[in-house]
Amino acid sequence: MLDRHFSKHLPRNPLNVLWNFLILLATAWYGFSVPIAFALKLDMPGWTQLLDITLSIVFLVDILTVFRTPFLNNNEVISDPVLIRQHYVKNRLFVDFIGAIPWDVIILLTLPPHDLSPHWIALTRLLRTLRLFRVPSLVANLRKHTGNAFVDAIYLETSKKVKMSLMFFWVMIGLNTIACGWILVHDSPAKDPVSIYIQAFYWLIVTVATVGYGDITPQNDMSRLYATLVMLVGIAMYGTIIGSVSTTIANTNAQKQRRRDKFAALADFMKRYDIPLKTQNDIFQFYEHSLRDRISLATEILQELPQELQREIDKYANLFMLRSVPFFTQASHECLMDMVSCLTTTICSPREIIIKAGDSGNEMYFLFHGEVEVLDPQGHQLVRLRTGSFFGEVALLKQVERIATVRAITFCCNAIIFLSLIADSLVSEF
């Protein structure tokens, strides 16, 4: 089987997804709110203290949960409780524990009022931001949808949406932190906290984007040094963002470039050997259809697999097509697997007659890709069928003559199943 090396699965439970989403929201809350409260020296209202205690309990429960959660190591799922504990203690426990304790609340409850320093209390809240190190693993847990750890890891690694979302998240966290740093080193004439933060964020964007209007400038050596550092960081950040976006766009357009390269080579070949225009048209139509999506690329990759795995892939691809037929909805898995082994595939050219009205029907067809039209005996189009459709089942199951003609509109790949091959399976099943 395809998953013989990965028989153990990580937990897949809607409650796990909901729990990780809650932890992610709480982590993002601290990542944004704590630096702002520290920089602006905002007082802690009562509801934030209650929220801190509640989220601390949530974080501590999360630590206990991680102690029992298997992890992926070198493409192997580790589910031994002893190894899980050792891995967590060695890699993340200290940071998670420090970030889970409400140190500010503990100080407020234990020390006398005259010994309390608002600055130090605010500083202890910055320890909450250590939980940001959990964000990648939380996103990975949210993206689990197959139940197979290795497959989920591949999907996560190749997901453009996840990469762009994480990049946007870290950029916003970084910008927010840098803006708060500017508030600490720069004396703003504004008094309203909202105006102070807006001006700081405005200065940051102007500086990072290298626009430099000059309406907000450093006023002391510390702010000048900070501005210089931000400029250097801005150059690196700007280059990283542009590079990531460019790479994503380039990967998105890779299929189109591959199509253009193949068409250019074909055009040069056919021009050199004076291939007839009708033949050129048919060839270009075939490649236009096969290169329209990523199926052809996946097919090329699958051809590199060992023969055993190729047969396994073909089997499940055919099984997927069979399950789309209403007649086979109630069929058992064993019956469908017997029919899968009887399927054969064929490629049809445009305008090619696949089924002719009046012929005897001993087979039915599954349209893997392409488009066909169903014609009445007078040649009038009744309906168009596209990828994923099936046809010819009436004559096959009722043993009557074909009542309509089916003609290919584009290049099509069909899977054919013959009555003589599936008769025993159908009799035993129904």
Beta bridge partners of 391: 365
CA angle 240, 245, 249 (to 5 degrees): 150
Task: Give yes or no: residues 34 and 145 share one domain.
Answer: yes
Task: Give yes or no: residues 20 and 50 share one domain.
Answer: yes
For residue 415, the model assigns a pLDDT of 65
CB contact at 8 A, 22 and 62: no
Task: Give yes or no: residues 295 and 313 share one domain.
Answer: no
* Euclidean distance between the first and the last CA atom of the chain, given in angstroms as a whole number: 29
pLDDT tens sequence across 168-216: 888 888 889 999 989 988 887 878 889 999 999 998 888 887 776 777 8
Task: Give yes or no: residues 39 and 112 share one domain.
Answer: yes
What single-letter amino acid sits at 104?
D
Question: Is pLDDT of 6 > 50?
Answer: no
Domain housing 384 = 307-429
For residue 303, the model assigns a pLDDT of 67
Task: Give yes or no: residues 313 and 381 share one domain.
Answer: yes
- 131 occurs within a structural domain: yes
Q: Does residue 161 sit in helix, strand or coil?
A: helix
* Structural domain count, the chain: 3
Gap between the Cα atoms of 333 and 326, Å rounded: 15
- 246 occurs within a structural domain: no
Segment 260-289 mean pLDDT: 79
Gap between the Cα atoms of 126 and 99, Å rounded: 9
- 75 occurs within a structural domain: yes
Helix extents (H) in 117-214: 118-125, 135-142, 149-158, 160-185, 193-208
Task: Give yes or no: residues 275 and 346 share one domain.
Answer: no
pLDDT tens sequence across 315-369: 777 777 777 666 677 777 777 777 777 777 777 888 889 888 888 877 888 887 7
- 249 occurs within a structural domain: no
Q: Which among 158, 192, 226 is the end of a domain?
A: 158
Question: Is pLDDT of 427 > 60?
Answer: no
For residue 9, the model assigns a pLDDT of 43
Segment 117-139 mean pLDDT: 75
- 100 occurs within a structural domain: yes
The closest alpha carbon to 396, from 365, 352, 357, 356, belongs to 365
Beta bridge partners of 348: 412
**DSSP assignment, residue 382?**
E
Q: Does residue 381 sit in helix, strand or coil?
A: strand
Q: Which among 140, 158, 176 is the end of a domain?
A: 158
pTM over cut 0.85:
no
Task: Give yes or no: residues 143 and 287 share one domain.
Answer: no
Question: Is pLDDT of 148 > 70?
Answer: no
Task: Give yes or no: residues 275 and 311 share one domain.
Answer: no
CB contact at 8 A, 416 and 318: no
Task: Give yes or no: residues 296 and 388 share one domain.
Answer: no
Q: Which among 158, 173, 201 is the end of a domain?
A: 158
- 208 occurs within a structural domain: no
* CB-based contacts of 268-276 (< 8 A; 24+ apart in sequence): none
Question: Is pLDDT of 267 > 80?
Answer: yes
Gap between the Cα atoms of 235 and 218, Å rounded: 19
Task: Give yes or no: residues 11 and 140 share one domain.
Answer: yes
CB contact at 8 A, 332 and 367: no
- 230 occurs within a structural domain: no
Question: Is pLDDT of 7 > 70?
Answer: no
- 86 occurs within a structural domain: yes
CA 241: distance to chain centroid? 19
Compare 254 and 223 and report the one with higher pLDDT.
Answer: 223
Question: Which pair of tokens denotes residue 241?
Answer: 């963002």
Question: Is pLDDT of 5 > 50?
Answer: no
Task: Give yes or no: residues 261 and 369 share one domain.
Answer: no
Question: Is pLDDT of 12 > 60?
Answer: no
CB contact at 8 A, 124 and 104: yes
pLDDT tens sequence across 48-96: 778 888 888 888 888 888 887 777 666 566 778 888 888 888 888 888 8
For residue 198, the model assigns a pLDDT of 92
Gap between the Cα atoms of 239 and 381, Å rounded: 56
Task: Give yes or no: residues 124 and 10 share one domain.
Answer: yes
